Structure 1
């Protein structure tokens, strides 16, 4: 076994990384902890049980798939005990940043003496575009690797602290974090802001992502759902979500559409988008978690960018 271990943000990038022929073993972190309930004790039996229940219920993930894809890879991580250097490969978006926090929390508990470095893509040139790792050339990736950030003990403990807050039942604690600039996580502050905007807004009961789905449907004349999905993936800010997550969100909003061939909002959908009526009581679900908090126990006030507890 090499004394160097790479932990990546997903399968497609793992394949890419292996082609770069860097020394070290590679483990893929196969999770999407930005959705569904999370527990602080990453890797524990209760943690994986909670995750499987969410993925099975909402994404029809089978037990055999979960064991084969997620748990086997996690066990492989557990078996890599000798590595004294660990490199994390993650991206700027919410999806990646939450996974990154969980991995660092696990490393703090289980790999106390390892040297941990971070390679994080995002703002790579003078344009406004944010880049995923797979969008970069081999040369750019090797450049990022050369400039990787060595995380100090304060960084590692801070990431663990933010993870504990993410898993707590009160997102208002996250809202009070203002010291991101003091640590080596360039994109974490923005990701946490995007997370807080996933709580329903006071204005119409939909969160920022749900409002964006209605807005994109209203502004573009999509011939079908596939067209809408394409637009959403291109215009989602820093969420970093994939097709399946948007499919699930669109299904929740189905009553606000007259149809998807072509895509058209209903009269009520338009009224909700314009803030003339509120959808909170209809869409409210007492079993939807964002981290450790129940989504519909809180409201987001877009006028002052603050969370309110109901």
Structure 2
């Protein structure tokens, strides 16, 4: 079945700039349009039309970066008009093509799906990429800089190899995309609420999440560099840190280093503080769309976060449609099918168990 789906994906990729016809795809595959559509969604967790939309819009960002005329890009990707293309672009990224072209802010990558590609896909040396960053901004490598890294593994690699020179390093070991949170950040009420959500003691939570952030609380820095991936998991963690910096009235400069988990190519953006705390309250506390504009990559993550708050969301539907799979296989499929969600084993296994999937361990 995976080989069959990959053939469909390859055909779609070859025809991205043409008007899509499910009937033509079905004719190529030798199956009915309904069967092709159903199987594609069952395996990938996304509809064919949604896949095509996201691929076309993501690929068009490179054309925008290269300063091509928006009307030419729209026609190249078979949109009926520049207005139609702009509406689709803004609906997905939260900014217009013109705004993106002017500011070139990071967006969430949407790469071609490759079924059963396997692990170990990192194809770019972290050291090599960081060296390129140093050439562009040497001041982020001195003693007055704090790097906040998303997770323990990344923190240990950066700290042990001193990838950011003489600067300080701390990890943020949390999963803010699940469980309730509080309006105040990193205080006792926050610790109690988050510990309860994770079903751990307050002491255990503090040792894992709060104590590693001691330098953030105790020292003053000219610059803070935030290393977070594009997926929803990382972006909700990023939003929490940005909200805390506003809450604590941090006065230095903040840089966001965005990257994909499978390809360590960094996009660096200086972030002015000012509205992230209100976004944190609206999104993570109250589960509402934010009133303020955010980075395109965070806009996409927030849309996905709000989707995941529903009992009937894209992941639970996928689990229900594939409930014949063994638990371990289901976990593997979920991680492959939903890279934009960014959940780890714990979050997915909780969902699998909650839905009551038949397991064949």
Pairwise TM-score range, normalised by the shorter structure? 0.5 to 0.7
State the SS of the aligned residue for 1:37: coil
Counterpart check, 1:260 vs 2:359? yes
Instruction: Output the CA distance in 1 between the equivalents of 2:340 and 2:275.
Output: 22
Aligned partner of 1:8 in structure 2 is 149
CA displacement 1:165-198 (0-9 Å, x = unmatched): 11443x3x41x65x64xx5x23111111111212
Aligned partner of 1:162 in structure 2 is 279
User: Which of 285, 290, 296 is the aligned partner of 1:186?
Assistant: 296
Instruction: Sort the Cα spacing of 1:242 and 1:167 in 2 relative to 1 into closer, same or farther, 3 A.
Output: closer
Counterpart check, 1:149 vs 2:276? no
State the SS of the aligned residue for 1:260: coil
Q: Cα distance, 1:117 vs. partner?
A: 0.4
> 4+ runs of 1 displaced by more than 4 Å?
none
Q: Cα distance, 1:240 vs. partner?
A: 0.5
Q: Cα distance, 1:160 vs. partner?
A: 2.1
Instruction: Output the CA distance in 2 between the equivalents of 1:237 and 1:21.
Output: 26
Pick the structure with more strand per residue: 1
State the SS of the aligned residue for 2:275: helix
Instruction: Output the CA distance in 2 between the equivalents of 1:28 and 1:161.
Output: 24
User: Which of 247, 250, 264 is the aligned partner of 2:349?
Assistant: 247
TM-score by length of 2: 0.56
Instruction: Output the CA distance in 2 between the equivalents of 1:239 and 1:136.
Output: 16
User: Which of 163, 175, 178 is the aligned partner of 1:21?
Assistant: 163
Aligned partner of 2:306 in structure 1 is 196
CA displacement 1:1-40 (0-9 Å, x = unmatched): 9201000110111123232521211010111111111112
State the SS of the aligned residue for 1:197: helix
Aligned partner of 1:136 in structure 2 is 263
Matches within 5 A, 1:277-296: none
Q: Cα distance, 1:206 vs. partner?
A: 2.2
CA displacement 1:236-258 (0-9 Å, x = unmatched): 1411001111111111111xx4x
Instruction: Output the CA distance in 2 between the equivalents of 1:90 and 1:193.
Output: 18
Q: Which runs of 5+ in 1 are unaligned?
A: 122-130, 263-310
CA contact (8 A) 2:148 2:169 kept: yes
Alpha-carbon RMSD: 2.2
Aligned partner of 1:75 in structure 2 is 214
CA contact (8 A) 1:216 1:232 kept: no
CA contact (8 A) 1:216 1:231 kept: no
Instruction: Sort the Cα spacing of 1:43 and 1:199 in 2 relative to 1 into closer, same or farther, 3 A.
Output: closer
Instruction: Sort the Cα spacing of 1:148 and 1:237 in 2 relative to 1 into closer, same or farther, 3 A.
Output: closer
Aligned partner of 1:35 in structure 2 is 178
Q: Cα distance, 1:210 vs. partner?
A: 0.9
Instruction: Output the CA distance in 1 between the equivalents of 2:157 and 2:263.
Output: 10
Matches within 5 A, 1:199-210: 199-200=309-310, 206-210=312-316
Q: How many residues align?
A: 218
CA contact (8 A) 1:34 1:98 kept: yes
CA contact (8 A) 2:147 2:227 kept: yes
Q: Cα distance, 1:62 vs. partner?
A: 4.0
Instruction: Output the CA distance in 2 between the equivalents of 1:10 and 1:69.
Output: 10
Q: Which runs of 5+ in 2 are unaligned?
A: 1-141
The higher-RCO structure (CA 8 Å, 6+ apart) is 1
Pick the structure with more helix per residue: 2
Instruction: Output the CA distance in 2 between the equivalents of 1:188 and 1:71.
Output: 24
Instruction: Output the CA distance in 1 between the equivalents of 2:152 and 2:187.
Output: 23
User: Which of 309, 319, 333 is the aligned partner of 1:213?
Assistant: 319
